Amino acid sequence: MADCMQEWPEPIVRVQAVAESGLAAIPGCYVKPPRDRPAQQHLAAGGDNVLREPSDDSIPVIDLGELLAAGEGRIDGLITEAVAAACRDWGFFQVVNHGVAPELMRAVREAWRGFFRLPISAKQQYANQPRTYEGYGSRVGVQKGGPLDWGDYYFLHLAPEAAKSPDKYWPTNPAICKEVSEEYGREVTRLCEVLMKVLSASLGLEEARFQEAFGGAECGACLRANYYPRCPQPDLTLGLSAHSDPGVLTVLLADEHVRGLQVRRADGEWVTVQPVRDDAFIVNVGDQIQILSNSVYTSVEHRVIVNAKEERISLALFYNPKGDVPIAPAPELVTPDRPPLYPPMTFDEYRVYIRKNGPRGKAQLEGFKGQAVPGTGNK
């Protein structure tokens, strides 16, 4: 990666430290321009800065129980139609009866909660660098003076085996953190493999088509544990700015008590997601599915709002293509009316842009649209 990615441009300040310092007003670097702030209707009357998030139960819920019980060989039309509608209408869906044990979900969430609740001094040894991102972080973009979000995180590579984060990057406290995260990673990766078949079938493609296009058994998985401390002025900032996820699929285990994830609905409104159950996953399609599907499915923008009363934790498992496989629109989905919208690009190349610039809504992918697409004369 480029030299500018070797070091952070300014000293890293933990959001947890800012939150615990007891400031009544948040530092300017966290203040978003008015158009990016949580909408006024999300704020409670009386100005007490408690976000009143309108819950929304219309994020579709997909029940995988029957499919998993019948063996994955039997993906029926009901499921593929439900998934197709969810991807077209929202880019997001929840899954229940997904085969990942609720006890494992609880254990991994508690392990990371335990880590983030440690004093900052106990976590600094894992401070991350822009070059690999692995470890304890508090910013994404490397631009000096760039806007910052109200959240700390921990980032790890889980798969493929060759890319897995070495031991030095894994917290040793809580002691079970590594083991439980690895097991969780394996289970959720298996779920992603099932979802890939369903997504392929939902576009009328062979079930194995997506998996093959993204690198077969060598697809990647990364874990990002997010920690959003309490915030004295939640109306001015965001826990995570609007972005789409760069990879293939994201499986989010949200906080069981505190909401915060917002999804941009087709009409442009931000809607707060309410998980249907504590053991539901929130799944969204990433930029690579938008590219492979030639924009039949699009990766939808989402963001995180924070809150004055309660901290929030979430675990995002990113299922990514193998790094060196060029991803381009599937020829089956390219027609004279729908020429290829994106040039081939490997995920390793794509990820460099994201990491340099930090969360930027959908600007990234839009920027690549129409660039040097082979065979269209649009060079």
By the criterion CB under 5 A, which residues form the site for Ni ion?
245
> How many Å separate Cα 251 from the centre of its chain?
7
Q: Which does 64 bind (CB under 5 to 8 A by kind): Ni ion, ligand OGA, none?
A: none
Residue 330 near residue 294, CB atoms below 8 Å: yes
Q: Which is nearer to ligand OGA, 150 or 210 (CB)?
A: 150
The DSSP call for residue 55 is E
- Residue 138 lies near ligand OGA (rule: CB under 6 A): no
- Residue 134 lies near ligand OGA (rule: CB under 6 A): no
- Residue 189 lies near ligand OGA (rule: CB under 6 A): no
- Residue 316 lies near ligand OGA (rule: CB under 6 A): yes
* Alpha-carbon gap, residue 379 to 359, rounded angstroms: 27
- Residue 15 lies near ligand OGA (rule: CB under 6 A): no
Q: Which is nearer to Ni ion, 75 or 350 (CB)?
A: 350
- Measured at the CA of 195, the angle between CA 102 and CA 81, to 5 degrees, comes to 115
Phi, psi (degrees; rounded to nearest 5) at 335: -135, 170
CB burial readout 152-181, b (16+ within 10 A) else e: bbbbbbbbbeeebbeeebbbeebeebbebb
Find the shortest distance in angstroms from Cβ 224 to ligand OGA: 5
* Alpha-carbon gap, residue 275 to 281, rounded angstroms: 8
Subset of 245-274 contacting ligand OGA (CB under 6 A): 245, 252, 254, 260-261
- Residue 301 lies near ligand OGA (rule: CB under 6 A): no
Token code pair at residue 51 = 């976000």
Find the shortest distance in angstroms from Cβ 250 to Ni ion: 6
- Residue 314 lies near ligand OGA (rule: CB under 6 A): yes
Find the shortest distance in angstroms from Cβ 41 to ligand OGA: 20
List of E strands, 194-321: 220-228, 240-243, 249-253, 261-264, 270-273, 281-285, 302-304, 312-320
CB contact set of 88 (below 8 Å; sequence gap of 6+) = 296, 297
- Residue 304 lies near ligand OGA (rule: CB under 6 A): yes
From the list 43, 75, 87, 240, which residue makes contact with ligand OGA (rule: CB under 6 A)?
240
Find the shortest distance in angstroms from Cβ 237 to Ni ion: 17
Q: Which does 242 bind (CB under 5 to 8 A by kind): Ni ion, ligand OGA, none?
A: none
- Residue 292 lies near ligand OGA (rule: CB under 6 A): no
Q: Which does 252 bind (CB under 5 to 8 A by kind): ligand OGA, Ni ion, none?
A: ligand OGA
CB contact set of 330 (below 8 Å; sequence gap of 6+) = 205, 209, 213, 292, 293, 294
Largest CA distance in the chain: 60
- Residue 139 lies near ligand OGA (rule: CB under 6 A): no
Q: Which is nearer to ligand OGA, 196 or 253 (CB)?
A: 253
Q: Which is nearer to ligand OGA, 251 or 330 (CB)?
A: 251
The CA R_g of the chain, rounded to the nearest whole Å, is 20
Q: Which residues bind ligand OGA (CB under 6 A)?
A: 224, 226, 240, 245, 252, 254, 260-261, 302, 304, 314, 316
